[in-house]
Chain A
Amino acid sequence: MGHATIEWVYVGVVIAVLVYVGADAWNVEKMLTDAPPEAKVIKVTGQQWFWTFEHEDGTQEIGELHLVKGVPYRFEVTSRDVIHSFNTPDFAMMIDAVPGRINTIWFAPDQSGQFLIQCREYCGFSHYQMRAKLFVEEPTTSGGKVTNASADLTPSIGATAAAS
């Protein structure tokens, strides 16, 4: 059984690599899984074929989302009709929008600028155009507090359909 030894060594190496990958993934996911308690809540609703965002203070945006750099946000994602998937590829954030459920995901934008929000689960006719714009703004301080930058911007209704 000379061939058994080398095969065991090989299988051992493969298992060692897998254990490393699994352990590291577990570790990273553990860090990412819970939002910090001070995170601001944004309600995200997908429907055929646009996104609606509602900030904590009740302001709503359609097709655009304005966030402030460095502030943690927790998204409560749901859908009105079929399954969509809320995805910001630049921040590797993605969670399904499932009707009848609220899924949560969080992130704190670490760079400012304009980014893409898109639907990543097939949802019908205009799935490929179901996009929104994510604006991350530099924090403006007034009295040491971060203001909600979206309040002084008019939401552009219908901007969703416009391709990027």
Chain B
Amino acid sequence: MWEILFSTHHTDIGLLYIYLSTTAFIIGGALAIGIRSELFLPGNQGIIPDSNTFHRIFTVHGTNMLFFWLIPFASGIGNYLIPIMVRYKDMAWPKLNAVAFWMLPVSMALVWLGFADTTWNAYPPYSIIRAPGPAAEMWIFGLKIAGISSVLGAINFVVTILKMKHPDLPLMKTPLFVWATLVTSLMIIVAMPTFAAALIMLYTDRLGISGFFNPAMGGDPIAYQHLFWFTFHPEVYIFLIPAVGTAYELIPKFSRKPIFSYGSGVIAFVMLAIVGFASWAHHMYATGMSFTEKTVFMVGTLAAVPASAMHIFNWIATMWGGRIKFAAPMAFTVGGIVLFFFAGAGGIVNTAMPLDFLTHDSYWVVGHMHLFLMGMITFGFIGFLYYMFPLITGRMYNERAAMIQFWLMFVGVSMIFLTQHVLGLYGQPRRTFDYIPVQPLIILNQISTVGAWITAAGAAVFIANLIKSTVSGKPANMEDPFKLGEQYYDYARREPHH
């Protein structure tokens, strides 16, 4: 344990990323359980003392889950596997890799200790003129550091994949997970600077020395939203694409069939990466955009759908007629794809201009984006962590506990987030400490909260399984731990520390 803290070896850095992100997932999840328990009944339940604490909790929950769970976990598995997949001894710049990781604990400390109440998107003028300091400043600098970290990590991945790849290995022969990491990293490099600039402007606005987004000083708060979503709509795909990559890694193996169409996977990745930059303002239909603007961004949003649909088609076609083994990694991946389908269907409703005014800023949106983040992405990542478990520990996890966890989480997550779509249609706004005590709202909130408790039980099984199996799991057969008739990753890579 101690030696990996000072290591620059890619598997050690990868493991640190996985430790950090799994920790963030659990403590961020605990905040979500607090939120859902508070909303079990209308009125103040005393679980969260007041609305301000509630606002701080959902702000840190959101920030934490996006920046300290999803992105670092993707970096973690990338660090582990990319050098193996491109056949190089390490990442291109091992020290830079370690620096990128060690910025994250700093940024996480700022976000958690600050406990800001700005919401994770920190819209001005609230975040300028009303949000209390120093929490908001700590949030700004925390995200600044996280942004730099992810850009450094992304540069490292791009260079490793394009320059350090074994000369005998053409890019079109690398696994699709390499493509996923490459595309994600390029998107980070293109998208992130915009938000970095917006953060600095937000900070100087808070200091009162500028008025970019402050209408009292002639600024425009909507400009911030454009800068923000220009980074964070692509960021949605930055979260998503690594999980798509892990699905491409697992589905052919567990179906014991070659992938249906490698080429269409690559095309869909590249399309998604490009079209993902053409739809940011669909988050802003209600800010008073003109009819023309709304039409442009609706078309841009709809244009991203065929690429996602191609991925789903590819997975189904790969599974079709295969000898599928539903071990935990496969179960989580397929469960995630089911939820991904619902998330995508809901997304089409959101982008249709007249319907957006039903769903926008309501619980529908909360349910919709959590089906992506918790459904597709988190399920994919948990499944992949189980798949990598023998590589990391040399032991097998407990398959039965993992399947119990899968069913708890699949049922729980469906209960939470599908129900929240209906809540949104009944008009419950998101980010609210309390709701009107009328019937459909109460029962739907309760179903959602019970779902959250079931999911929490699944997460408890998850953590127990990880710890117990790391300590005393059965030694894995390192050639083919899942008995799929295929070579597993190169286990020897884990060993040399330097």
- A residues with CB within 8 A of B: 3-4, 6-7, 10-11, 14-15, 18, 21-22, 24-26, 28-30, 32-33, 48, 81-83, 85, 87, 89-90, 92-96, 98-101, 103-104, 116, 118-129, 163-164
Contact = CB atoms under 8 A, between A and B. Distances in A.
Contacts of A90: 427
A21 B354 CA distance: 11
Interface stretch (B98-106, B140-148, B293-301, B478-486): B293-301
Interface stretch (B25-33, B183-191, B430-438): B430-438
Contacts of B260: 3
Contacts of B306: 11, 14-15, 18
Question: Interface on chain A toward B: helix, strand, loop, or mixed SS?
Answer: mixed
Question: Interface on chain B toward A: helix, strand, loop, or mixed SS?
Answer: helix
B286 interface: yes
B434 A129 contact: yes
A127 B427 contact: no
B164 interface: no
Contact of A99 (B125, B286, B355): B125
Nearest to B435: A128
Interface in B347-398: 348, 351-355, 357-358, 360-362
Contacts of A81: 125, 129-130
A159 to B, nearest CB: 15
Given A85-B286, A89-B427, A92-B357, A124 B130 contact: yes
A129 B125 CA distance: 20
A112 B353 CA distance: 27
A22 B310 CA distance: 19
Contact of B436 (A24, A123, A163): A163
Contacts of A100: 215, 220-221
A119 B362 CA distance: 11
B126 A118 contact: no
Contacts, number: 146
B89 to A, nearest CB: 37
A164 B436 contact: yes
A103 B222 CA distance: 12
Given A10-B313, A98-B288, A124-B126, A29 B55 contact: no
Contacts of B477: none
Contacts of A30: 291
Given A30-B291, A85-B286, A120 B362 contact: yes
Interface residues of B, number: 54
B352 A21 contact: yes
Nearest to A26: B295
B45 interface: no
A33 B357 CA distance: 13
Given A118-B429, A128-B434, 7 more contacts: A24-B352, A83-B126, A85-B361, A94-B361, A122-B126, A126-B51, A163-B436
Contacts of B310: 7, 11
A98 B354 contact: no
Nearest to B308: A14
17 contacts: A7-B310, A14-B309, A18-B302, A18-B306, A22-B298, A29-B294, A29-B295, A32-B354, A82-B125, A92-B358, A98-B288, A99-B221, A118-B429, A120-B429, A121-B361, A127-B55, A128-B51
B261 interface: yes
Best-surrounded residue of A29, A104, A118 (most CB of chain B within 10 A)? A29
A103 B221 CA distance: 14
B125 A96 contact: no
A118 B426 CA distance: 13
Contacts of A118: 427, 429
A82 B126 contact: yes
B317 interface: yes
Contacts of A29: 291, 294-295, 353-354
Contacts of B313: 7, 10-11
A123 B52 CA distance: 11
B436 A11 contact: no
A82 B261 CA distance: 50
Contact of A21 (B221, B302, B433, B434): B302
B305 A18 contact: yes
Contacts of B294: 29
B487 interface: no
A119 to B, nearest CB: 7
Contact of B355 (A7, A25, A125): A25
Contacts of B52: 125
Nearest to A25: B352
Interface in B81-133: 117, 119, 123, 125-126, 129-130
B439 interface: no
Nearest to B291: A33
B23 interface: no
B176 to A, nearest CB: 16
Contacts of B291: 29-30, 33
B264 interface: yes
A3 B317 contact: yes
Given A10-B309, A22-B299, A118-B427, A82 B129 contact: yes
A25 B309 contact: no
Nearest to B314: A7
Contacts of B287: 96, 98, 103
B56 to A, nearest CB: 11
Contact of B288 (A3, A101, A121): A101
A132 to B, nearest CB: 13
Contacts of A95: 286, 288
Contacts of A126: 51
Best-surrounded residue of A93, A94, A104, A163 (most CB of chain B within 10 A)? A94
